[in-house]
Amino acid sequence: MNERRAGVFLDRDGTLNEEVNFVRTPDDLRLIDGAGEAVRKLNEHGLAVCVISNQSGIARGYLKEHDLVSIHARLEDKLAEFGARLDRIYYCPHHPTAGLPPYNVVCDCRKPKPKMLQMGIKDFGIDSDRMFVVGDSVVDIQAGNAIGATTILVRTGYGNISIDRCASENIHIDFVVPTIVEAAERIITLENDRPEHHG
């Protein structure tokens, strides 16, 4: 893997699938309209597409890690219906204060910490100048900012609340878009406009 590639890191709940306050079973998972097509377009442009998801429901005892395997299998099945795929799903099962051992710990992977992003960069040889983070929450934007990614906040999920909080706390967002559909379009446009793309 000599040539480094562009990479997109997508939040899960509220970005790819509808926010339902903890997806606990596969039946709870419903894709946001257009998400499948959006991921497929990113695939077609050769970008690595990874999910980075805080899943403190595991720490809180709402579900087990093996339940998450089934939920993520459904996510991948639903995306496959649109010809889309994820290169990897990274998740953090921890919470610093709530929940049950061994998950109730301060960890390095829970967003806004950037460890899940760093793992994806390493695993897929992602170019540090061509990283994109798409999410609906403040921690998504903070994690993206921590590694110098282009950050895109979607208005689905908790997006509108997050816009206000980022403004009040002076947290930088590169782009605000309605949904993952427009986020994918923006990423593809930015990639197409890169000087070497025309070279």
62-98 pLDDT per residue, tens: 999 999 999 999 999 999 999 999 999 999 999 999 9
CATH number of 11-192: 3.40.50.1000
Does residue 1 register a pLDDT over 70? Answer: no
The CA–CA distances, whole Å, from 42 to 87, 146, 190 equal 11, 23, 12
Which residues neighbour 158 within 8 Å (Cβ) at sequence distance 6 or greater? 14, 19, 136, 137
pTM of the entire predicted model: 0.96
Q: What is the pLDDT of residue 4?
A: 87
Nearest to 116 by CA among 133, 136, 95: 133
Domain boundaries, the chain: 11-192
Residues annotated catalytic, as ranges: 11, 13
User: Quick check: helix, strand or coil at residue 29?
Assistant: coil
Q: Mean pLDDT of all residues in the chain?
A: 96
CA pair distance 178, 153, nearest whole angstrom: 8
Give the pLDDT confidence score for residue 196 in this predicted structure. 72
For 116-167, how does the pLDDT look when each residue is reduced to its tens digit (9 = 90+)? Answer: 999 999 999 999 999 999 999 999 999 999 999 999 999 999 999 999 999 9
